[in-house]
Amino acid sequence: MGGKVGSILILPLLWIIGSILASAWFRRSSGKAIVPHVPNDAVFYEDWTSGRSLRNSFTRVGGARNCLLVYVAAGHLNVVPRFPFTLMFLPELYGLDLRVPLTSIASAEPVKGWMGRAVRVSFQSGGPAPIELKLRDEEGFINQLGDRVLSGGARSIKALQKSRPGYKLTAFRLFMAVWGLGGLTAAFVGLPDDFRFRRDGVETTGVFDGHSGDAGDRNDMGVLSYSVDGRRYHLTSLQGNGIYKIGNTATLFYLPNKPSDAREAAYLPFDLMWLSLGSIALALSLFSGWIARRFQ
């Protein structure tokens, strides 16, 4: 069981690494840059800016806070996150990886909403969903798109504004996203077994009577013993050094057709804790940008 403890702790890390590698391969195979840069022929660009896609409710609430590269070059509008936000399929999830001809832009409308002052760019039928970009130089952006696309909107466009990058908030949102996804992965790996053992297993009591390693070592886990039909079995506990004591007891469940296969009852609250913390972290990642904008 000690191996299972290690697996639960390492699986989220492996999932994150695998997602990073898979997204890097996907971008390379699709001809997309992992580390985007502004080409020399760009007639307009803004770096580390904010935006969101209006594709669905998820992308509307999420979006990108101070991590977008927006530029116009070779007759195309390009919107892409800066590295490392190009990884873990974040651009695809949030609908913010665009390269579209300027001729496919239907309108550019100054709006004021969740993102504060932004420009809503809509595309011709069959194109991407509309996007909103929070730009410092709206006037310069619209000029490069062409005056034909400018629609009325609820306000006038603004000229170049001083840059106010929010790197700390961006780093916090990325950290919360990675941590939250890791926590949810840990929960989803363990919870099916928690419910399966409680549904199909037999409840019994185990007694701590040994150590998985040297007593007092930080990697030491308690070993529970339990008996079924006169035969003794052992299970490495979730409880480690400083938590368990020899002679203490713990509830566990074993499968009646395979008594050697057991799971400690304490795994359920442990996995529910990961589920709660992962959900909270992911919510902070999604909504902290919106909260920050409310106080600007």
- Judge whether 243 and 27 are in contact, CB under 8 Å: no
Shared-domain flag, residues 285 and 181: yes
The model's confidence at residue 77, banded by pLDDT at 50, 70 and 90, is very high
Shared-domain flag, residues 80 and 122: yes
Shared-domain flag, residues 161 and 180: no
Which residue, of 110, 136, 165, is where some domain finishes? 165
Shared-domain flag, residues 295 and 187: yes
Written as one letter, the residue type at 73 is A
Shared-domain flag, residues 222 and 255: yes
**CATH code for position 80:** 2.30.29.30
For the cut 90, the answer to whether the pLDDT of residue 242 exceeds it is no
Q: What is residue 13's predicted lDDT score, i.e. its pLDDT?
A: 63
Shared-domain flag, residues 149 and 89: yes
Shared-domain flag, residues 83 and 177: no
Task: Return d(Cα 296, Cα 291) in angstroms, integer.
Answer: 9
Task: Residue count of the chain, please give it.
Answer: 296
């990642």: which residue's tokens?
285
Which residue, of 165, 186, 210, is where some domain finishes? 165
Rounded to an integer, the average pLDDT of 43-54 is 88
> Per residue in 127-153, pLDDT tens?
888 898 988 888 888 888 877 777 665
The model's confidence at residue 166, banded by pLDDT at 50, 70 and 90, is low
**Residue 293 tokens, joined:** 């904008």
Please report the DSSP string for 263-282 in residue order. EETTHHHHHHHHHHHHHHHH
- Judge whether 207 and 249 are in contact, CB under 8 Å: yes
Number of structural domains the chain divides into: 2
Shared-domain flag, residues 176 and 224: yes
For the cut 70, the answer to whether the pLDDT of residue 288 exceeds it is no
Walk across the sheet containing 44-53 and list its strands.
Answer: 98-101, 76-81, 64-73, 44-53, 131-134, 116-123, 105-113
- Judge whether 210 and 220 are in contact, CB under 8 Å: no
Domain ranges, residue 279: 1-31+172-296
Task: Residue 61: name the closest of 163, 149, 132 by CA.
Answer: 132
Helix (H) / strand (E) element for 68: namely: strand 64-73
Q: What is residue 4's predicted lDDT score, i.e. its pLDDT?
A: 46
The model's confidence at residue 258, banded by pLDDT at 50, 70 and 90, is very high
Shared-domain flag, residues 93 and 176: no
Strand, helix or coil for residue 197: helix
Which residue, of 139, 165, 191, is where some domain finishes? 165
Q: What is residue 2's predicted lDDT score, i.e. its pLDDT?
A: 41
For the cut 50, the answer to whether the pLDDT of residue 276 exceeds it is yes
Helix (H) / strand (E) element for 134: namely: strand 131-134
> Per residue in 82-120, pLDDT tens?
888 888 788 888 888 889 998 888 888 888 776 678 888
Shared-domain flag, residues 114 and 15: no
Q: What is residue 165's predicted lDDT score, i.e. its pLDDT?
A: 46
Shared-domain flag, residues 43 and 155: yes
Count the Cβ atoms, other than its own, within 10 Å of residue 56.
11
Shared-domain flag, residues 160 and 179: no
Average pLDDT, the chain: 81
Q: What is residue 253's predicted lDDT score, i.e. its pLDDT?
A: 95
* Top mean-pLDDT range of 41-50, 59-68, 156-165, 234-243: 41-50
Share of the chain above pLDDT 90, in %: 20
Question: pTM of whole model > 0.85?
Answer: no
For the cut 60, the answer to whether the pLDDT of residue 295 exceeds it is no
Task: Return d(Cα 131, Cα 104) in angstroms, integer.
Answer: 13
